[in-house]
Amino acid sequence: QSALTQPASVSGSPGQSITISCTGTSSDVGGYDFVSWYQQHPGKVPRLMIYDVSNRPSGVSNRFSGSKSGNTASLTISGLQAEDEADYYCSSYTLSSTPVFGTGTRVTVL
């Protein structure tokens, strides 16, 4: 059960849009519409930002959106703001009936 693959870092200027990829296999990302994304600021608790590929929990800004194509899921942050600077982790349900997290992506706002 290997971790899903994410880029180590992504950066953008305020107001820009960035996209973080999350690549798995047909046994996880490609096989289920159960991809989630979590935001974690340094020293803080993870926070759910997207679930079931593209749904936002109550209270999450609509600047965050999710999608999936084949074995790769994506998180897009539009109108990038300083407060978006954090680590982001994807997660997917797997054939083993358990979830697996991604390797994590550090988002830097330039």
Partner 1 sequence: EVQLVQSGAEVKKPGESLKVSCKGSGYDFTDYWIGWVRQMPGKGLEWMGIIYPGDSDTRYRPSFQGQVTISADKSINTAYLQWSSLKASDTAIYYCARPEYNSHTFFYWGQGTSVTVS
Q: How far is the CB of 13 from partner 1 (least distance, A)?
A: 26
Q: Is 5 a binder of partner 1 (CB under 8 A)? A: no
Per-residue CA distances from 21 to 9, 58, 89 (Å) = 11, 23, 10
Q: Which range, of 14-22, 45-53, 61-69, 71-79, touches partner 1 by CB under 8 A?
A: 45-53
The answer to whether 39 touches 88, Cβ cutoff 8 Å, is yes
Single residue of 22, 86, 100, 109 touching partner 1 by CB under 8 A: 100
Identify residues 58-87 at the interface with partner 1 (CB under 8 A): 87
Q: Is 34 a binder of partner 1 (CB under 8 A)? A: yes
Q: Is 52 a binder of partner 1 (CB under 8 A)? A: yes
Interface ranges with partner 1 (CB under 8 A) = 1, 3, 34, 36, 38, 40, 45-48, 51-52, 57, 87, 89, 91, 93, 97-104
